[in-house]
Chains A and B, each alone.
Chain A
Amino acid sequence: MRAGVAEVEARRIQPSAAVWGGLVVLLLLAAVFLFHETRGTALWFDDWMWVLGRRQTDAASFLDPHNGHFSLIPIAIYRVLFATVGLDSYAPYRVLVIAAHLVCVTLLFVYASRRVGGPLALLVAALLLFLGPAWSNILWPFQTAWLTSLASGIGALLLLDRRDRMGDIGASVLLMASLASSSIGLPVAIGLVVEIALGRRRWRDAWIVLAPLAVYALWWVLYQTSQTAPFTEDLMHAPGFIVNAVAGALSALTGLAGRTVPGGTPPAREWGYALALGGLALLTFRLARMRPVPARVVTLIAMALSFWTLTALNRAYLGADTPYSSHYRYVGCVFILLLVVELAPPLHLSTRTYLLGAGVVAAIVLSNLGAMRDGAGYLRGQAALTRAELGAIDLVRPIVKPDFVSTALPGYPFVVMRAESYFDVEDADGTPAASPAEIASEGELVRLSVDQTLIRAHGIALRPAAPGVALGARPAVESVTGGTVEERGPCVAFRPAQFTSGAAGGELQLTVPPAGVLLKAAGGTATVSMRRFADAYPKDPLGTLGPTGSARVPLRADLSDLPWHLRVTPEDRATVCGLG
């Protein structure tokens, strides 16, 4: 009789073929959806730090910390991609991060199915699979590093479950992989130390964690630099950070995260706080009923708490919204889901209850898909700006100074891309830079940004007008308001009307000849603005001429035939002549 019950229990724990089939369908759907959503993205932010700074073949290129992280494995993977697919196409990078995410989900499913059975594990996996508020870890290839650490961590836990020599060796190797992929490996290691200490209670097994930790310590001594500058401030903020991080993760898991992309409204906190309180109450309630508390539960609590604490101690100074960053949400959610399935009491759900649960998960997934699309849209916007800025640098390649730095490139000032370094990379591995035609078809904000970069790269400014400067072709008049123009030889003279309506004054807009223009103001100042790809002139003018001043705006040819446009807003009269 007893054997029969055990058999039934075992059948319940082993996922059926149907459940595996369901998982495969979910993974395929997610892969297609995520690949589609990441269309139009390109190397971004930290990606460029590695593109520019990790190109050598010396050990430091692989072993120097990245923002404090030991990133040997992801850097090696990126180096393989640089060497094989280059920088022109981002698709292989996108496939990489999507695959890493799907691996994490699959491992979570396997872990959960051994605790709560396949059908419930499927719901748990679905929550992580479409965790939109954690979009940056799912959509941005650079975060493969974190996913590798996490997947290795879950893999290590599964291998420790085997309780055999092979499993222990595998767990140790995976912990090493976790530590060598990102600092997420540290909380994973802390958790595994707790697991070995409480679960095995044998010093003989300490090697499982000590061996990888010794290697990590060696790296730390040799390569790690001090990252503790704002430590004291972070220490003060740590408790609040942890509460907010828990709130952020729980609101993401319930589809109540609100807006999750940077900028605009701050992250929604209301649901998170309430859920955190409710979660704490449930955790306390459940732990009080567990005698003794299983080692794995303590392991998972240690992992989660050490992750939030270590992150707080290093990142809390970045601001009150930092705990809600999508990459922190992902890690928090993984640890919370592992803990939930570990804490779950034996459940025998009726079909109706399961369907109700599936309906709730479906609603959460639907809500989180919106956040995922928002995140993907944000990344596409950043990619458009990145490609356009690179395109602008390509345009001025013949004339730009080697040490020119695009300050509009997403990631600046963390990403400092000198023109010379970029050209080296471009020659070696290609570039995702936009062509002039592509820049011209971008949104107005991108084109405004490109214009500013071109102005800086060209060194366009009002310059003293030396006497007897050679004149050339007359600028073409585009529009005149609040006055009249008269064309005299190579010049256009503006005379204001007797009056103008509203707040607007006189204004003259011209197409600039290839060599530039000479400007003169009379009777009042004249403000000068320039544009090229954008439809509108920038908010900040190029400069202002004094009441009787004159200045040159010389131009040099670059790789685009698109002319520059100039707007003069004079208080009184102004003359614009083409330079020879």
Chain B
Amino acid sequence: MRAGVARAPTRRVSPSTAAWIGLAVLLAAAAVLLVSLTRDTTLWRDEWTWALYRRGNTAGTFLEPHYGHLSLVPIALYRLLFATAGLDHYLPYRLLVIGAHLGCATLVFLYARRRVGAPLALVPAALLTFFGPTAQNFIWPFQVGWLISLGAGVAALLMLDRRDRLGDIAASALLAVSLGSSALGIPIALGLAVDVLWGRRNWRHAWIVGAPLVLYGLWWIRYQTNETERWGHDVYLTPSWVFSAPADALSSLVGLGGGATIDGPQSALTWGAPLGLIALAAIVWRLTRLREIPPRVLTLITIPVAFWVLTALGRAFFGAPSSGRYVYVGGLFILLLAAELARGLSVQRRTALLVAVVTAAAVLSNVSSLRDAAHVLRLQGSLTRAELGTLEIARPLVDPGYVSEGFLFDEIVAGPYFAARDELGSPAATPAEIAADPEPIRASADSQLVHIHGLSLQPSSGAVALGARPVLDSASSGTTTEHGACLSFEPAAFAPAAAPVALQVTVPPAGILVRAEGGAATVAIRRFAAAYPAQPLGTVHASGAATLHIGTDGAPQSWHVRVTPTERATVCGLG
């Protein structure tokens, strides 16, 4: 019976095809996740420097260094985005960085596939794709410059593998792109120099690295400024920095970097130290078993070590080796080195399964870090939009030289911002959107508006014209009396701790007069926030009086004042 039944032919999917399908699924899932997590983000920090000051058409606009980096390629991309998407829509910027990140992951897959086979190559690709502790590099579009440098570097290594004329030309061009995207191109150039000179032992091939380096050298002579003035104490910090950086990257790769923020893993060295020592022992063990150290291994050691040394020399005074953007670079090259060292090793099915489980656990752990980092970036987006919104609200009042609050490096100056905004649009929040933001953001908006309006208590000169009586918001531990344009407040004999003495009013359009009798009265002000700030606007001393004038602006929301008197106080609306 059995023999008589013809078995239908089964079509097996080859491991290689399955791995490609797996990679596609991985990348698609990552793309969806990253687009979702970066919702509501907007231009942040250095991006504003480019939006405000890199809009000209001179060579300097494209070639001036950005913190020492030649950023020709990313600036050109941003210029393209400014011209097409403007500043209103951030999605194209997000797609750019996500695309660059997934491109790097694909290149790592391609590189590893040629060393350890397609199924195992999925491991480094998955680890890099969901490298959550380093999220800054792939959820913040500004870091696209670094990703292009890295992607071009990995692609150049793949091109050099071809060992033909076309491959060499492409590698040289890709190195130029890498150098033109960020200073990461320098360690990559050093690595490629080792690869070409050590691997080929033929000076005729030096042009592959030499040509792009000559171009970079020309740029350096013409545009670079001295970035080495801080090398003093950094020299001493460099060795331990360089030793800790790979440890941080290792623990982060396997999901043991601890909690992470947008700046990177928080306790990467806890697991990184033992993992680093084990990895060092494993590398030494592997190298002793290789009759001769392959040039590519040296290349892949040279690139990250050069990156760490150069970074430590320039940044050790303020940037920890566990900064996410540095860990990403280290992690990528550790993955490439692992693939290179694993070349020729046979992996049993059971070991492969174990590796897959560990990879899945690492990815799961790192997705959590990714979500945390994205949350921080979304909050920064809300804050940025609200601060810009306040500039829009008070545009007629803002001095062109006014430096916006809420930006770490004072990136937003009112004049250049309005110029960029008029040309490219703005992600600024409307008053209604600010009102719907969380309380800390509304408090920040209030703080900025108080400064822009220049709100302060002013002398009450003689008889002032009174107008509409302020609307009473609340009065606690005291009684209020309305008379004419004024509200008088008399504190109660005692005040419970839960209801301190205070009078809260909505400020009429023309402002208010505050008079203190018998004791001082402290005045605080708010607009979008629900609570008054800790810092009062001022104090009216006993028997003193002061006025508060508030100019009109573009928001319909009223201002509110809280008066906290030690004795009696009167608040009148100005005419």
Q: Show the binding face of A for B, using Cβ within 8 Å.
A: 254-258, 268, 270-271, 273-275, 277-278, 363-364, 366-367, 369-371, 373, 496-503, 505-506, 523-524, 571-572
Query: Are B235 and A366 closer than 8 Å at their CB atoms?
Result: yes
Is A364 a contact partner of B537 (Cβ separation < 8 A)? no
* A370 touching B274, Cβ below 8 Å: no
Chain A residues contacting B546 (CB-CB under 8 Å) are: 498-499
Residues of the B chain whose Cβ atoms lie less than 8 Å from the Cβ of A571: 520
* B233 partner, pick from A364, A370, A496, A499, beta carbons under 8 A: A370
- Report yes or no: B269 in contact with A499, Cβ–Cβ below 8 A: no
Residue B359 at the chain A interface, CB threshold 8 Å: no
User: Can you list 10 contacts pairing A with B, beta carbon distance less than 8 Å?
Assistant: A257-B240, A274-B277, A366-B238, A369-B236, A496-B541, A498-B544, A502-B535, A502-B536, A572-B541, A572-B542
* Further pairs besides A369-B236, A500-B457: 12, Cβ < 8 Å: A258-B240, A273-B273, A274-B274, A277-B274, A278-B274, A278-B277, A496-B544, A498-B459, A498-B546, A499-B457, A501-B538, A506-B541
Interface status of B503 (Cβ within 8 A of chain A): no
Task: State the interface size on chain B (CB cutoff 8 A).
Answer: 35
Report if B456 contacts A (CB, 8 A): yes
Give the residue of A277, A278, A366, A499 whose beta carbon is less than 8 angstroms from that of B539.
A499
CA distance A572 to B235 in the complex (A): 56
Assess A270 versus B236: contact at CB under 8 Å? Given A256-B243, A500-B538, A503-B536.
no
Across-interface contacts of B238 in A (CB, < 8 A): 366-367
Taking a contact as CB atoms under 8 Å apart, the answer to whether B540 and A255 are in contact is no
Whether B273 pairs with A497 at a CB distance below 8 angstroms is no
Asked if A271 and B542 make an inter-chain contact with CB atoms under 8 angstroms apart, the answer reads no
Residues from chain A with Cβ under 8 Å of B265 in the complex:
none
By a CB distance below 8 angstroms, the chain B residues around A257 are: 240
A498-B545 CB under 8 A given contacts A274-B277, A370-B237: yes
Shortest distance from the beta carbon of B424 to any chain A beta carbon, whole Å = 37
B573 within 8 A of A: no
- Which residue from B236, B270, B272 sits with its C-beta under 8 Å from A367? B236
Which single residue of chain B is at the shortest CB-CB distance from A496? B541
Nearest Cβ on chain A to B514's Cβ, whole angstroms: 8
Residues of chain B at the chain A interface (Cβ within 8 Å): 233, 235-240, 242-244, 269-270, 272-274, 276-277, 456-457, 459-460, 514, 520, 535-546
Assembly CA distance A496 to B233 (angstroms): 50
Contact yes or no, A497 B541, CB < 8 A = yes
Contacts of A506 in B (CB 8 A): 541
- Residue from B239, B277, B540 in contact with A498 in the complex, judged by beta carbons closer than 8 Å: B540
Q: Give Cα A278 to B537, complex, Å.
A: 61
B520 — nearest CB in chain A belongs to which residue? Answer: A571
Q: How far is the CA of A440 from the CA of B244 in the complex (A)?
A: 43
Give A123 to B235 CA distance when docked, in angstroms. 21
Q: Is the CB of A499 within 8 A of B540?
A: yes
Instruction: Kindly name the residue among A258, A275, A500 whose own CB sees the greatest number of chain B CB atoms within 10 A.
Output: A500
- Smallest distance from the beta carbon of A352 to chain B beta carbons, Å? 11
B185 nearest CB across to chain A (Å)? 25
Nearest-CB residue, chain A, relative to B547: A499
CA distance A258 to B244 in the complex (A): 11
A505 to B243, CA, bound (A): 53
Decide yes or no: A255 and B541 within 8 Å by CB, A271-B273, A501-B456 being known contacts.
no
Q: A275 to B546, alpha carbons, bound, how many Å?
A: 68
A499 → chain B closest CB, angstroms = 4
Per the bound structure, the CA–CA distance linking A496 and B538 in Å amounts to 13
Q: Cβ of B273 and Cβ of A373 under 8 Å apart? A: no
Instruction: Tell whether, in the assembled complex, residue B535 and residue A503 are in contact, meaning their CB atoms are under 8 Å apart.
Output: yes
Q: How far is the CA of A572 from the CA of B518 in the complex (A)?
A: 11
A-chain residues with CB within 8 Å of residue B544 when the two chains form the complex: 496-499
Q: Which residues of B contact A523 (CB under 8 A)?
A: 542
**Interface centre among A257, A271, A497, by most B CB within 10 Å?**
A271
Known contacts being A274-B277, A502-B535, A505-B539, is A366 close to B239, with CB within 8 Å? yes
- Among B460, B535, B542, the most chain A Cβ lie within 10 Å of the Cβ of B542
Q: Could you say which residues of chain A place their CB within 8 Å of the CB of B460?
A: 498
Shortest Cβ distance from A495 into B: residue: B541
Give the chain B neighbours of A270 by CB distance below 8 A.
Answer: 269-270, 272-273
Which residue on B lies nearest to A256, using beta carbons? B240
Q: How far is the CB of A3 from chain B (nearest CB, A)?
A: 34
Residue on A with the closest CB to B242? A363
Give the CA-CA distance A197 to B346 in the complex, in Å.
53
- B537 contacts which chain A residues (CB < 8 A)? 501-502
**A446 and B544 alpha carbons, distance in the complex (Å):** 42
In the bound assembly, the distance between CA atoms of A273 and B276 in angstroms comes to 12
Q: What residues on A are CB-neighbors of B240 within 8 Å? A: 255-258, 367
Q: Which residues of A contact B277 (CB under 8 A)?
A: 274-275, 278
- Report B432 CB to chain A, min CB distance, Å: 30
Contact of B236 among A254, A366, A501 (CB under 8 A): A366
How many whole Å from B240's CB to the nearest CB in chain A?
A: 5
Q: Which residue of B lies closest to A254 (CB)?
A: B243
Q: How far is the CA of A278 from the CA of B273 in the complex (A)?
A: 11
Alpha-carbon distance A473/B250, docked complex (angstroms): 73
Closest A residue by C-beta to B538: A501
Q: Of B239, B514, B539, which is within 8 A of A364 by CB?
A: B239
Bound CA–CA A503/B242 (angstroms): 47
Q: Do B236 and A499 have beta carbons less than 8 Å apart?
A: no
Chain B residues with CB below 8 A from A505, complex form? 539
List of A residues within 8 angstroms of B456 by Cβ: 501
The CA of A506 and the CA of B540, in the complex, are separated in Å by 11
Q: Which residues of A contact B274 (CB under 8 A)?
A: 273-274, 277-278
Given the complex of chains A and B, what is the CA–CA distance between A273 and B270 in angstroms?
A: 9
Q: How far is the CA of A416 from the CA of B218 in the complex (A)?
A: 66
Docked-complex contact B540 and A502, CB < 8 angstroms = no
List the 5 closest A-B pairs by CB distance, nearest first.
A370-B236, A498-B544, A274-B273, A367-B239, A499-B546
What chain B residues lie within 8 Å of A369 (beta carbons)?
236
Q: For B239, B242, B540, which residue has the most chain A Cβ atoms within 10 angstroms?
A: B239
Please, which residues of chain B bring their CB within 8 A of the CB of A371?
236
Interchain CA distance A497-B396 in the complex, whole Å: 32
Complex CA–CA separation, A277 to B233 (angstroms): 31
Cβ of B235: which chain A residues have Cβ within 8 Å of it?
366, 370
Q: How many angstroms between the C-alpha atoms of A363 and B305 in the bound complex?
A: 13
B contact residues around A500 at 8 Å (CB): 457, 538-539, 541
In whole angstroms, how far apart are the Cα atoms of A257 and B236 in the complex?
12
A371 to B, closest residue via Cβ: B236
| Residues of chain A contacted by B459 (CB below 8 angstroms) | 498-499
- A406 to B542: give the CA distance in the assembly, Å: 43
Whole-angstrom distance between the alpha carbons of A497 and B545 in the complex? 10
Contacting A255 at CB < 8 Å: which of B239, B276, B538?
A: B239
Cα–Cα distance between A501 and B454 once the two chains are bound (Å): 11
B-side contacts of A496, CB under 8 Å: 541, 544
Q: In the complex, what distance in Å separates the CA atom of A571 from the CA atom of B543?
A: 13
Look across to chain A and name the residue whose beta carbon is closest to the beta carbon of B458.
Answer: A499
A274 proximity list for chain B (CB < 8 A): 273-274, 276-277
B238, chain A: closest CB distance, angstroms? 7
Shortest Cβ distance from residue B252 to the other chain A in the assembled complex, whole angstroms = 14
Give the interface centre of B514, B535, B544 by most chain A CB atoms within 10 Å: B544
A258-B542 Cα distance, complex, nearest whole Å: 56
A256–B247 Cα distance when bound, in Å, is: 12
Q: Closest approach, in angstroms, between the C-beta of B450 and any C-beta of chain A?
A: 11
Instruction: Tell me which residues across on chain B come within 8 A of A501, comparing CB atoms.
Output: 456-457, 537-538
Residues of B within 8 A of A275 (CB): 273, 277
Which residue of chain A has its CB nearest to the CB of B456?
A501
A270 to B267, CA, bound (A): 10
Smallest Cβ distance from A452 to chain B, in angstroms? 29
Of all chain A residues, which has the CB nearest B280? A278
Interchain nearest-CB distance for A242 vs B (Å): 19
> B514: which A residues are within 8 A, CB to CB?
499
> How many Å lie between the Cα of A571 and that of B269 in the bound state?
53
Query: Nearest-CB distance from A401 to chain B (Å)?
Result: 42
Nearest Cβ distance between residue B542 and chain A, in whole angstroms?
Answer: 6
Closest to A365 in B: B239
Q: Determine the chain A residues whose CB is within 8 A of the CB of B541 once the complex forms.
A: 496-500, 506, 572
State in angstroms the CA–CA spacing of A363 and B520 once bound together.
64
